[in-house]
Amino acid sequence: MHLEYLYIFYFFNLLLIVGLLLFFLSFVFVYQNPNTDKASSYECGFNPVSDARNKFEIRYYLIGILFIIFDLELIYLFPWILSLQFLNTKGFYSMYFFLFILTLGFVYE
């Protein structure tokens, strides 16, 4: 088995364990207070039963688009992690510069 695939397998297993752990711990430690507003199918900032010509906040859609863009940029981390042992210092620090720019954009959002 190739070693670089084993690292991805370990990463996804760790991701699954942490995700499930956080999911189940939220049921144990978080106070559950359901109501009809929280249980409605639309939590996007405007009333679901109204006239279609009402104004609504566009920032919900902008934040969704920015979330997709940041997810697509994070895909570049996987090849960098796999080729990390073959990179020189220029390749190493150029990815840190990319992550710095990505973090600045996320903070700006």
Domains of the chain, start order: 33-108 (1.20.58.1610)
Q: What is the pLDDT of residues 7-47, one digit of tens each?
A: 889 999 999 999 999 999 988 888 777 776 666 666 555 55
- Please give the pLDDT value at position 108: 82
At residue 49's C-alpha, the angle toward residues 44 and 50, to 5°, is 95
- Please give the pLDDT value at position 42: 61
Whether the predicted model's global pTM rises above the 0.85 cut? no
Q: Which of 64, 81, 99, 85 is nearest to 9 (CA)?
A: 81
Phi, psi of 46 (to 5 degrees): -140, 160
Q: What is the pLDDT of residues 42-56, one digit of tens each?
A: 655 555 566 667 676
CA dist., res. 91 & res. 83, Å (int): 10
- Please give the pLDDT value at position 39: 62
